[in-house]
């Protein structure tokens, strides 16, 4: 697996991180991915994977409960703009 500037920039875009020093990551990521490639050579006897299970009957009952933290609503803990809205940047 070769990792180049373009690939690192693409990965940075997927996880939305501006890489101040992309060069720094190229060699390391390439080295680690090459190490990961060993996984491809494993000879598996079974296809199964490990997952926890929960019984349908043990799922949460459908009950409304109002959240409060010491009597304060959650929005008090968030950054807010006008009218308790959260402000986001332009979407265009």
Sites for another protein among residues 2-41 (CB under 8 A): 8, 11-20, 24-25, 28-29, 31-33, 35-36, 38-40
- Min CB(6)–another protein separation in Å: 13
- Min CB(79)–another protein separation in Å: 6
Which residues, numbered 55-84, are part of the site for another protein (CB under 8 A)? 55-67, 69-70, 72-84
Residue with tokens 């009950």: 63
- Min CB(52)–another protein separation in Å: 4
29 CB-near residues (< 8 Å, 6+ apart): 3, 8, 11
Q: How far apart are CA 69 and CA 72, in angstroms?
A: 5
Q: How far apart are CA 38 and CA 17, in angstroms?
A: 28
């Amino acid at each position: 697996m070769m990792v180049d500037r373009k690939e690192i920039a693409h990965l940075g875009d997927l996880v939305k991180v501006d890489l101040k020093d992309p060069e720094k990551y190229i060699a390391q990521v390439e080295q680690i991915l090459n190490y990961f490639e060993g996984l491809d050579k494993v000879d598996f006897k079974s296809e199964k994977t490990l997952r926890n299970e929960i019984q349908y009957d043990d799922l949460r009952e459908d009950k409304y409960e109002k959240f409060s933290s010491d009597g304060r609503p959650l929005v008090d803990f968030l950054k807010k703009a006008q009218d308790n809205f959260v402000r986001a940047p332009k979407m265009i």
